[in-house]
Structure 1
Amino acid sequence: MSTTALSAVIAATLAAPAMAQEVSGDVVKIGILNDQSGVYADFGGRSSVAAARMAIADFGGTVLGKPIELVDADHQNKADIASNIAREWYDVQNVDAIMELTTSSVALAVQGLSREKGKITITTGAATTELTGKQCSPYGFHWAYDTHALAVGTGGALVKAGGDTWFFLTADYAFGYSLEEQTGNFVKANGGQVLGSVRHPLSTTDFSSFVLQAQSSGAKVVGMANAGLDTQNTIKAAAEFGLVQSGQQLAALLFTLAEVHGLGLDAAQGINLTEGWYWDQSDENRAFAERFQKEANVKPNMIHVGTYSAVLQYLKAVQAAGTDETKAVAAKLHELPVEDVFAKKGTVQANGRMVYDMYLFQVKAPGDSKGEWDYYNQVATVPGAEAYLPVDQSGCDTASFAAN
């Protein structure tokens, strides 16, 4: 069955029998659940909450004549805390959908709970392909990026440029494993070798022993399968031990504008990275970024603008469905094209993966930057069809959705 036909089947399965305008509790309530105080606070954090507020305001503040309410919380990168918050939001506060969900272990736990509760999640902050793979959900959607897109973008560029031996420095949880596996598979499929890997705890402060193992491997490329402050601290330790000076390259497999800003161009220059959005790509992006900076005091990265897009698309789906009932809204989320400041000609696969173009960037040298936040040169576009796995290769059992 083709992806188009399969999407039609899923949409038909999820469609509610009645399309009369109906909003539960006379309010549409959205929750932003993410890391607001830890290693990923700059990656998403309060800035993602600001993005969600902007989306609600841009939609008009109401949907189907009912108010839109936003709640948010800090999950502290702990799946049990996130699940408890999500359960309370659903059972007591009547939250309709939860979004952002930084940290893959958190996103998987909350998406699983949401499937049981018959609620929608739209993940923008977590990376694992398991969200639309073996642990997919008829009510789960994955926006912004995933580990496969990062592997194709950053990993592909470096292998083609001669970086054919790799060693991975990996965050010791689901996201890190997935990113290492996806990138390693891509390296090997293109004739390269993976010489080894070492795993580090989330939020560790001392990367010395991990960096020394990477250095002693002799690999041409050290792939940093981590994110946020962990990546920044890895780069600092690599500079201390002279990895780049000794001839090795650093591959930041998940590195965004927020982390480049925090690290500074002196340390980050020359690093290749993949993002799904950059503020200086177009007049539309620049105008949005200027508005966003007034709200959040930073230029947005792909997580922030992806959250804006996810909230906006959810509200469009509620409007189109004529109700906030989960099955009807999920059907519209699968059906509607994604066309906004974040994604052009975006489509949602039957497994919930939103497909749109990604971009390979290289961080500018300090002398090439025209000012604060002018950090990237765009190197290449990675078409969505290449960046993301097709449904039949994702591991998602979409046939099981019929039971929900």
Structure 2
Amino acid sequence: MTLDRRSLIRTAALAAAVPALGALPSGRARAQAGTTLKIGVLTDMSGTYRDISGPTSVACVRQAVQDFGSHGFNVEVLTGDHQNKPDVGSNIARQWFDRDGVDVVVDVPTSSVGLAIAGVAREKNKVCLNSTSATSDLTGSACTPNTIHVTYDTYMLARSTGGAMVKAGGDTWFFITADYAFGHALERDTTRFVQAAGGRVVGSVKHPFPGTTDFSSFLVQAQASRAKVIGLANAGVDTVNAVKQAAEFGVTRRGTKIAVLLMFINDVHGLGLRTAQGLVCTETFYWDLNDRTRAFTSRVKDKLNNNYPAMSSAGNYASVLHYLKVAAEMGADKAKVSGAETVSRMKAMPTDDDVFGQGRIREDGRWVHPAYLFEVKKPEESKGPWDYYKLLQTTAADEAFRPLSEGGCPLVRG
């Protein structure tokens, strides 16, 4: 068990109310006075995805609690490190639910862990708000009435980034894929869009996860295939290492394009603009996108130890804020009784926050919002710290994610 009891963070909800929610009826306030909702941030504190989740996700969750204010109940935030291992994550979640009274688990990077935790949450009738696993199966064959999938998924990434590369002439692909659920799903979904656009996949290779540091043999195989595009179906440190080594090999100087199918602003920061310039990626949040995203980032950035929020960590802010709004409306004491009922109420209430703006949650648990295709700026184009992206195109919320009818979620009727 990796749960560090010293990482328990007790956060009492603040005294100020959120105007959009209004005051609670006095009877409900009395009923909730002794109620404490417990939120468990199950994340990667030291591994491949630390910079896009980990401490930054914890800080964003705490910011949501602070911004929510007080509505007659208390909130506690716990943290746990799942080490990117499904068994470790499942053990922590079970301990939280059975012994510690946790009501909702959030974040959960690594798709294999995310799928496992969704199953545990359903078994225990708790809430799972997944912002950082990418597999689209969470709203497909593995959907449950207890899980909401926030921020991004492999279908959206494949459609936006993969589709853009094919339109630009990249009609032959070779994949370098992380060998676990996320990588497999991202390669599968991207292959679909490549083939639909008239392209073809000429080969692929799987690399171990976690722990791969040397991508040279994989890059040699990719170059030997003569594919126009090398698709990186990985994330985090793996993506950073693969891009750096591709630059050292001079891959792009020979005319081959690198399709980074999942890249976060923190990866660009790690690469540096000189190496990352010209790369194209898709995110659903960027700190400098609009006034609301800048306002959120301004509130939280001093708590991030020189990091900036990625879409994954920012998605935790949005999902926790929405959960707390729903808990206030239905009563925190009632929210503790049934995770499935709470998730149903979350789907019924429109979403609105400084991360994604206005949106909604579909029947299959997919939180829908726009997706943005960005190009990484050249060093001379950047005007300040973390000024890394220029917007190429926006995909509307109703078009960004897989159609409800195509996912195979058993919760979808007809």
> Could you state the TM-score of these two structures normalised by the residue count of structure 1?
0.91
Q: Which runs of 5+ in 1 are unaligned?
A: 1-18
Deviations 1:235-266 (A, max 9, x none): 01111211101110011111010111111111
C-alpha distance in 2 between matches for 1:270 and 1:399: 40
What amino acid is aligned across from residue 199 of structure 2 in structure 1?
A: G
What amino acid is aligned across from residue 188 of structure 2 in structure 1?
A: E
2:371 corresponding residue in structure 1: 358
1:122 corresponding residue in structure 2: 129
**Which runs of structure 2 are paired with 1:2-401 in the superposition (5 Å)?**
26-60=35-69, 62-63=70-71, 65-202=72-209, 203-296=211-304, 297-322=306-331, 323-324=334-335, 325=337, 326-398=339-411
Shift of 1:344: 2.5
* CA shift in 2, pair 1:31/1:23, >3 Å: farther
Deviations 1:41-81 (A, max 9, x none): 00111000000000000001x44x11111001111000000
RMSD: 1.5
C-alpha distance in 2 between matches for 1:117 and 1:355: 26
Shift of 1:321: 1.5
What amino acid is aligned across from residue 299 of structure 1 in structure 2?
A: Y
C-alpha distance in 2 between matches for 1:365 and 1:390: 35
C-alpha distance in 2 between matches for 1:82 and 1:187: 34
What amino acid is aligned across from residue 102 of structure 1 in structure 2?
A: P
Shift of 1:346: 1.0
Shift of 1:316: 0.9
Runs of at least 4 residues of structure 1 off by over 6 A? none
C-alpha distance in 2 between matches for 1:83 and 1:265: 38
> Could you state the TM-score of these two structures normalised by the residue count of structure 2?
0.89
Shift of 1:382: 1.1
Shift of 1:379: 0.3
Shift of 1:328: 3.0
What amino acid is aligned across from residue 192 of structure 2 in structure 1?
A: N
C-alpha distance in 1 between matches for 2:34 and 2:40: 15
Shift of 1:113: 0.8
Between the two proteins, what is the percent identity of the paired residues?
48
Check conservation: 1:152, 1:386, Cα contact below 8 A.
Answer: no
Q: Which has the higher contact order (CA 8 A, sep 6+)?
A: 1
Check conservation: 1:171, 1:200, Cα contact below 8 A.
Answer: yes
Deviations 1:297-324 (A, max 9, x none): 3221111211100110110111122221
Aligned residue pairs, count: 380
Secondary structure in structure 2 of the residue aligned to 1:185: helix
Check conservation: 1:361, 1:377, Cα contact below 8 A.
Answer: yes
Check conservation: 1:320, 1:332, Cα contact below 8 A.
Answer: no
Secondary structure in structure 1 of the residue aligned to 2:351: coil
Secondary structure in structure 2 of the residue aligned to 1:206: coil
Check conservation: 1:122, 1:141, Cα contact below 8 A.
Answer: yes
What amino acid is aligned across from residue 79 of structure 1 in structure 2?
A: P
Shift of 1:287: 2.2
Check conservation: 1:290, 1:299, Cα contact below 8 A.
Answer: no
Secondary structure in structure 1 of the residue aligned to 2:402: coil
What amino acid is aligned across from residue 364 of structure 1 in structure 2?
A: K
Check conservation: 2:159, 2:193, Cα contact below 8 A.
Answer: yes
What amino acid is aligned across from residue 284 of structure 1 in structure 2?
A: R
